[in-house]
Structure 1
Amino acid sequence: MPRARLQRRAAQAKNYEYRQYEEDVSRIVAEDGGSEEEPYYMVKLRPEDDGAADEYMGAAEQHEDMMALDEAEGVEETGSQVPIGAESTPPITPTRTSGSRNSRPSQTPNRASTTKAKTRGVNELRDRGPDVIAKTGGQHNRLKILFGPTEEEKRRTLLTRDHWSTQETLPERDAGGLRHSYNTSEEARKREIQNVQKWYDRVGKKSFSQRQKSTSLARETGEGYLANSGSTDINMLMGAFATPRMYTLKQGQHLSTALPFLNRENRHGWMLYLGTGIQDAQWAPHEHERTQYLAVAVEQKRMTGHQNKLLEYSKAPAFNPTKQFPASIQIWALEPTPTCLPSDRIPPRLAYVICAEWGAPEQFRWCPFVPDESVQDMDTIYLGLLAGIWSDGRVRILDIYFENSKTANPETKFVQYTHAAFEISFRDTVPTCLQWLSATTLAVTTASGTIAYWTLSHSSAFAPSSHPAGNPYNPPPRFHRVVADTYIITLQSGFPSQPHVVSIGTASGLSILIDLRDPSADTCLSPRGRVFNTTQAWHEHTQSFVHPDEYHLLRHNPLRRFYMNFNTMRLESQIVRCATSPVHPGILVGGADGTVIASNPFMRFLNYKLSPWQQTWFRHEWRRSVSEIPLPIGPQFSAPLSQLSSRPTTPLSDLDAVPDGVLNKPLVRITEGYKVQQINLINSQKPGKEKAVERSLLTIHEEKSAISVLAWNPNLRYGTWAVAGMADGLLRIEDVGV
C-alpha cells in the first residue's frame, strides 16, 4: 500500500476517530487500482472498564454495574428494561470476524480507528454499518441497506409508504390517516402497558404516595409561583396579510386563531400569552380521555435579591446549579369537539399548577404510558408520571393527579410540592437532558459528558424502609458511563421500536449513536458540524434521528447508516426546533426567524431524486419598540429613533398615523395561509453553464422571533394537534390536520 495512503488515513483517524464515507472511499479505491476490498467504516472503541463502576455522586458503596444488579439475589423486577421490540432487534452494526474476507490484519499500522471488542472475542471487530449504497440495484437495494435485509423489514417499509403516500405535508384527519407505526405491533404496546400497570399496582403507587409530599395553596399564594420578568401584555397583528387586525393580550389571556378571519370554518386553535419565553411544552398521554392536557413551562428566574446582568455572572450558569426559588409548571386543559377538534366555544383553561421552590423547570417529559387507568373517573384526573430537570441541579419524578371539579367553571388548582419520591443529584456537574427509554426507565445526561439510566421497577429505585426519615436518598443508576468529552446538549431514544438505542448531541458538533446493550462496541459518530445542534428527534417511520445541519437543512441519520446525512427539509434560517409524531410521519420544523414548516419526508427518504414538498404553518415576527430600532439618516450613519433631533419624513411617513402607544411597545405579526410548495434542497445559482453551488449564508434575527418549542400530540385520536411556543411568550395550539 502506498505510503501517502497510510498517512492520509492515519490523519483522519487521529482528528475525527472515524472513516470518511462513500466519496472518499471511492476515490481511494480508484487511486489504488480498483481494489475489490470493502471499505471498512470502523469506529474507535473505548477500552473496557472490566466491570468496575465509575465514581458516582459521592456514594461509592452503592456503585454496581448494570449486570451485577440484574444478577443480584432476591431482586424481583417487573416491567422491561428495554421494552417494545428490543428483544428482537439486531445491534446497531454488523459483526465481522477475522476469518472473513472483509477483515484486516490487526498489525496494520493504519488501524488507529479500530480496536478489538474484548467481550465478544479475541479476533472480532465492529464496523460502522452496511456496505455503501450501490449505484445499481434500484429501490430494492436502497430498502435493504436503509431498513434491513429481511422480508419483514421490507414489508413494514412498504406498508408505511402505501399508507401515507397521499400525505405530502400536513397530516390527514380522515379515518386511517392516524395510526401507530408499522415498526411496532399492538401486542408489544399492550405488553408494555400491562407491565407498567402491574408494577404501579404492586409497588409504584405505594412508593409515590408515601414519599411524595404536596400541599394545596390558595390562589393568592399560588399566583406568586407564576411570576416572571416578562411584560404584562403584548400587541399582536393577525389575520389576512393585506388587512391584519391588531389585538392586545395580557398574561394568561387567549385568542381564537379563527377570530381575525372572515372564513372561520377550517381554523381550530388558540393563541395564549404567558409573559416570557416558552421553555418547554409537552402533551400528557391521555389516550382514552376527551380532555387534553398540555404541560407548559416558561423562563423564570429569582424575582428577589441581586440580579446579575448578562455575561456578568461569576459562575458559568450552564455548568452550575442555581439557588432554589419559586417557579411552576402550568397544565392547561383543552376541550375537544365530538369530531376531535379543539373546541371553539370552550377556551383553554389553566387547570393545574405545579408549584415548587426548586428553581426553574428546564426540561420535562411525560411517561409514555399512563401507569394506572383505573383512577380515571368523575372525581380524579390522573395524568401519569412527569420527569423533570430543575435549575437547582436535580432530576425529579412526580406523580400527577388532582380532583376533578364538577362545576361549570372550575378554578385553577395550585399545589406545592415539597418532596419528590424519586430524586437524583449529581456530583460536580448538572443534568442537561432526560428521556424515557420505556415506561419505567429514565435516561439522563450531564454537562460532563456522562449518561446514566434508572429503572423504577428495580428494588433500588426508591428508598428502603430502613432508610432514615428526612435524609435524602440518591438511587444508584443501573448504567453509568462517560460517552462524550464535552457538554451533552440533546438526548433522544429510539422508543418505542428501538428503545435500547440513544443518540446524543454534543457541544463539539458531533452526534453519537449508542447501543446501551453494548456501548463499548456499538457506537457510531455522525459527520461533524461546525454549529452544535440544539434540537433532535426520533422519526419512527424512517427509523432515523433527525437533526438540523449547520445551516438551514434538516438531516436524517438512519439507524443503519448513522454516519451519513439524508436531507429532507429546508428553511431560510437556522433550524432551532423540530418535532416528530408517533402516529403519523409528519415533521414540524421551527426556525430562528419564527417560521414553522411541515412535511412528510418518507417519500424523499425512499427516493432521493424526488424534490420534497413542504408547507408553512405560520410565521411569527417580533420587533422591538420603534424608539430602539436603528433607522438610516445618512449613507454611512444610523442611530436609534430616540436620538434623532427630527423625524426623517421619507422612511417614517407611514408611522405618523400609528398611535404612539403601539410604536413605543414591541409588536408581533403572525402571518399564515401559505401554499404548499416543492422546494430544491440546494439553493443554487447558475450563471451560464457553471456548476450549481450552494449558498452558505446565515442571517441574524431578533431573539424573540425564534420558535422555542414544538410538539405533536401523541394521542391517537388527537394526533393532528400541534403546539408551538415562541421566545416572546406566545403559545399557539391548533389542529393542523387536512
Structure 2
Amino acid sequence: MSSTRKSGRQRVPNKKYTVDAFEGLDITNSDSENDLELQESKVQAAKDDGNDFAESDHEPVPEKDDEAIEVSDHSDTATPEDTEQELTKSVSGKRRRKQPPVERENMRSRGITDFRIRASRLDDDLFIENIVGSDEKDQADFRQNRNKWINNISLPTRYPNNLGQGGMAYAFNHPADQRKTEATVGWDWYFNEGGKSTFQKKQILEPLTSTAGVAYITRPAETIKKLLLGPYGKQQLFTLSLMQSLSLKQSWKSAQTNNYVNVGDPRNRSKRQDAWILNVGTSVQCLEWAPNHPGAIQYLAVSTLPPKAGNDQLESAPAYTPWLRSSSIQIWTFTRTAAPDNTVHLNPELQTVICTEWGYARQLKWCPMPRDPRINGSETRVHLGLLAGIWNDGYMRVLDLYLDAHRGSNTTYGMLVENTTTVTNSTIVKYKSAGFEARPPETLCTCVTWLSQTNIAVGCANGYLAIWNIFPPNTTSVQDTPLRPARRSKVPSNPQSNGQSTRPYLYIPIHHTYILAITSAYHSSPHLLCTSSASGHTRLTDIRSPSSDSVLMPHMRIGPSSLAYSTHLNCFLTNSEDRNFVRAWLLRRFWTYIGIAKGEPEVLSIGVAPLHSTILFGYADGTLLAVNPLRRYVGTFLRGGQPQQAVWKQEWARSAPGDPGGEEEGRGGEEEGRGGKEEGRGGEEEGISRFTEGYKLENVVLNPEYERTMKGHGSTFQDKDVAAFSTIYEEKSAIRAISWNPNLDYGGWVAAGMGSGLVRVEDLAI
C-alpha cells in the first residue's frame, strides 16, 4: 500500500475578522444556491467542451505552417470523448475534479465534421466535402470547376488547351438546361404577360437638347486629364478631353519611329493587347457591363460622383439624409472589329447620357439572368436590359433601357461639351420616373442585388432587409398602410415619385445599423443572401426562413464594404479587418475563412468573373491585383505560396506650382484663403496620372500569423516585412469599381473605374 503525501504545515483555523449574523442557520445549502452552482458548472463545462456557440474573447491561434492553407475556425467542435478527457485533465497534465456532465439536450451542433486539421493533411475528398457539403452533384460540379481553371496562374486564358482546361465557359453548377429555362420561361412575365408595356407606361422620358443637358452632366474643373503612358522608363505625356477615349497602343509607339520601342525588355510587350482609357469626368462610383449581348457591340454603364463644392453642406449625416441633385449615367458602347491576326478590338464611343434629378447613382446592377432577345420585325431599338440602382435620394429604382440601334454618339457629344445646340435629341434623355421605384418608410436604401428576374433584395440604413417583386406591380401606397403592424409610419414625399412607394413582401431586421453591402449566392444558391453592416457583423441569411436560418461570421471592428460571391469557389469574398487581406468565406462553413490574396494598402473593390475563376482586387494605391483562388482549393497545397499578379497601377499626383494650372490654383488660394482652392475651383485639383505595368508574378505566403502581428496583438513582430502602420494614399489614385464582361465572347474584358475620373477597359485574356 502506497503512502499518502501530507502537508507539513500545521492545520489551524482561518482568522475571522467579521461576525457572521447568519452563522448557525441552515440557509447556505438551499436549492436555489445548488441550482446556481449547477448552472455555473454547466456553463464552465460548455466552455471547456468547445461548444460552437460559446462566446470567447480571444480567437484560437492556428498552427503556423507555410505549406498549409490558411483556415481559421473560430468555433471548433469537440466530440463527447474529447470532452470527457478535457474535463478530467488539467492544463499541466494532472488530474482534477471531474465536473458534472453537460445535458446534451441543451447543446447544438452544426452537424458537420470537425475541420481543425491542417488543410495540407486532409484527403481531397474530405477537403471538398468540408467546402461544398456531402451532395454528390455539388462535389462533382466543384471538381469540374477546379480542374478546368486551376492551371491559370493568375490571368485567364482566351481559349482552352487540348485537355479542355482554361478558356471562357459558364460554371458547371450553372448548367445549360438551367440557363435555357431562365432565358425563356423566366422572362415570360416581361414579353408575354405585360411586363414590357407596364414598364414603358410608368417610365416618363424627356429628350433634352445640349443646352439643357449640360446642367445634368458632371463637369469637373479639370476637364482635360494629363496622363503619363507608355513602356517602363520611356513614358510620354498625353492629354485626354472630357468624354473622350485614348488607345494605349498609341502611347506604346515611339513619336520618332512610330514603332514599338525596346522589344527586348520583357516589361515592354511588343504586341500588347487592346486597352482604352476613358475620361468620364469625376470619380467613378460604380460601373457595370450589360449582360445578354453576344453581338458585336458591348455596353458599359458608368456612374460618377458629383464634384465637390463648398456650399454642399447637409444639416444631418449624409449617409442617412436624402439628397436630390441633377446627375447622369453614361452609357458607353464598344464596337467589335476583327484584325487580320484574329484579335478583337473594341472601339469605345459614348452612346447616350441618362439624366435624372434623383442624386447620383450609388450602385448599379444589371439583371444578370440569361435572356433570349425575342426581337420582332418592327423593333428598331436595342434592348439593353433591366438596370437596378440605388440613388442618393434613398430610392431603389429599376430602369428598362432601350437605345437606338443605328445612332452614333462620339461626334454629337463632342459638340455637347462645347455647349453647342446642334445635337440630336436622342443623345441625351431625362428620366422623370422609373419603371419601378420603392423606398421603405423612415429609412434609405443603401445597396441592391438581384435574386431572380422579378425579385430584388435591398439593404437599408436602419439594418432592415427588404425584398420586392417588381411584377406584377403593387400600386398600394404605404402612406395609409402600415409596413410594420406595430407602428404606423408614412413615406417621406418625393417630388419625382409623387409620394408613391410599393410594399416589399419581406421586410425584416437582420442588422442593428447601416447595411454596407449585399449580394446573393446566384447561380448556385440564389436563396442565400450575404450582408455586411457598419457594426462589423456580416450575416448569411436564407430568405426561405430568415428568422431561424442565419449565421454570422466572426465580428470585425470595421464592417467590410467590399462583398462579392464567386460561383466557381462556392464562397463569399470580403476584405479583412486590416482591409489589405482578402478572405474567402466558405458557403458550407461560413464561419471559416481561407486567405486568398494580400496587399499593402486597403482593398476598395472586388471583381468576380462569371466565365472564369480569376478575381481582380482594386487597392487604394491604384494597384489592380489578379489572383486565381482555385489554386488554394486543393487538399495538398502548392509549395512556394499563392501566386498573384499586379496587372497595372495608377498613381495620381497634384500638379506642381510651376505646372500649367498650378498658378491658377495658387491665385485661387490667395483670394479665398486656406479654403480657396477647394471653394474657388469646386474642390477639384489639377494633377497628373501615371500608369505603370509589366509587374512580374509574385508568390506570397498567406499565414494567419501575419494578420495577428499587423493587428498589434504581440509585443514583438516576428517578420521584418510586417509593418505596424497604415499609409494614406491620394483619393484619386484608388480603384473604386471593377467589372468583368459577362458575355461569353468577351469574358476577358474588364473595366476598372478610378477616383481620378478615368476608366480603363482592357482585354486581360492570355
TM bucket, shorter chain: 0.7 to 0.9
For the Cα contact (< 8 Å) 1:395–1:425, is it kept in 2?
A: yes
Q: Indicate whether 1:211 and 2:202 are aligned.
A: yes
CA positional deviation for 1:286: 3.2
Residue 233 of structure 2: aligned partner: 242
Q: 1:560, 1:271 → 2: CA distance?
A: 40
For the Cα contact (< 8 Å) 2:77–2:114, is it kept in 1?
A: no
CA positional deviation for 1:161: 1.7
Partner secondary structure for residue 187 of structure 2: helix
Query: For 2:597, which of 556, 566, 569 is the aligned residue?
Result: 569
Alignment of 1:12-91 (within 5 A): 22=73, 25=76, 34=85
Query: For 2:631, which of 578, 582, 603 is the aligned residue?
Result: 603
Return closer, same or farther for 1:416/1:343 CA change in 2, 3 Å cut-off. Answer: farther
CA positional deviation for 1:239: 1.2
Query: For 2:448, which of 426, 431, 434 is the aligned residue?
Result: 434
Residue 502 of structure 2: aligned partner: 475
Unmatched segments (≥5 aa) in structure 2: 1-40, 62-71, 89-100, 161-165, 253-259, 261-268, 414-426, 482-495, 660-664, 668-684, 710-715
Query: For 2:294, which of 278, 288, 291 is the aligned residue?
Result: 288
* Equivalent pairs, count: 614
Residue 543 of structure 1: aligned partner: 570
Q: TM-score of the superposition, structure 1-length normalised?
A: 0.76
For the Cα contact (< 8 Å) 2:564–2:574, is it kept in 1?
A: yes
Partner secondary structure for residue 196 of structure 1: helix
Partner secondary structure for residue 458 of structure 2: strand
For the Cα contact (< 8 Å) 1:126–1:521, is it kept in 2?
A: no
Amino acid across the alignment from 2:628 = N
Q: 1:215, 1:590 → 2: CA distance?
A: 37
Return closer, same or farther for 1:11/1:351 CA change in 2, 3 Å cut-off. Answer: closer
Q: Indicate whether 1:186 and 2:171 are aligned.
A: no
Q: 2:327, 2:633 → 1: CA distance?
A: 43
Q: 1:399, 1:4 → 2: CA distance?
A: 59
Deviations 1:578-599 (A, max 9, x none): 1101111110001111100111
Query: For 1:674, which of 695, 699, 707 is the aligned residue?
Result: 695
Q: TM-score of the superposition, structure 2-length normalised?
A: 0.73
Q: Indicate whether 1:337 and 2:328 are aligned.
A: no
For the Cα contact (< 8 Å) 1:286–1:292, is it kept in 2?
A: no
Partner secondary structure for residue 519 of structure 1: coil
CA positional deviation for 1:407: 6.6
For the Cα contact (< 8 Å) 1:355–1:414, is it kept in 2?
A: yes
Amino acid across the alignment from 2:176 = E
Alignment of 1:617-628 (within 5 A): 617-627=647-657
Deviations 1:686-723 (A, max 9, x none): xxx99658655422111111111111011111110001
Q: 1:196, 1:679 → 2: CA distance?
A: 44
Amino acid across the alignment from 2:212 = T
Amino acid across the alignment from 1:131 = D
Q: Indicate whether 1:516 and 2:543 are aligned.
A: yes
Amino acid across the alignment from 1:251 = L
Residue 642 of structure 2: aligned partner: 612
Q: 2:666, 2:354 → 1: CA distance?
A: 43
Residue 354 of structure 1: aligned partner: 354
Alignment of 1:206-285 (within 5 A): 206-261=197-252, 262=260, 265-285=271-291
Residue 45 of structure 1: aligned partner: none
Unmatched segments (≥5 aa) in structure 1: 38-100, 112-124, 630-639, 643-663
CA RMSD of aligned residues (A): 3.7
Q: 2:129, 2:499 → 1: CA distance?
A: 51
Q: 1:712, 1:550 → 2: CA distance?
A: 26
Amino acid across the alignment from 1:425 = R
Q: Percent of aligned pairs with the same residue?
A: 30
Residue 432 of structure 2: aligned partner: 418
Amino acid across the alignment from 1:402 = L
Q: 1:240, 1:382 → 2: CA distance?
A: 40
Return closer, same or farther for 1:341/1:574 CA change in 2, 3 Å cut-off. Answer: farther
Q: 2:733, 2:80 → 1: CA distance?
A: 49
Residue 83 of structure 1: aligned partner: none
Partner secondary structure for residue 258 of structure 1: helix
For the Cα contact (< 8 Å) 1:375–1:382, is it kept in 2?
A: no
CA positional deviation for 1:13: 5.0
Deviations 1:16-46 (A, max 9, x none): 8999974764799999554699xxxxxxxxx
Query: For 2:115, which of 126, 129, 132 is the aligned residue?
Result: 132
For the Cα contact (< 8 Å) 2:358–2:393, is it kept in 1?
A: yes
For the Cα contact (< 8 Å) 1:494–1:502, is it kept in 2?
A: yes
Residue 737 of structure 2: aligned partner: 709
Residue 151 of structure 2: aligned partner: 166
Residue 34 of structure 2: aligned partner: none
Alignment of 1:656-695 (within 5 A): 665-682=686-703, 695=723
Amino acid across the alignment from 2:148 = H
Return closer, same or farther for 1:139/1:329 CA change in 2, 3 Å cut-off. Answer: same
Amino acid across the alignment from 2:637 = K
CA positional deviation for 1:418: 0.7
> Structure 1 stretch 208-217 or stretch 373-382: which is displaced more?
373-382
For the Cα contact (< 8 Å) 1:351–1:411, is it kept in 2?
A: no
Amino acid across the alignment from 1:307 = N
Q: 1:407, 1:435 → 2: CA distance?
A: 32
Query: For 2:190, which of 179, 193, 200 is the aligned residue?
Result: 200
> Structure 1 stretch 443-452 or stretch 368-377: which is displaced more?
368-377
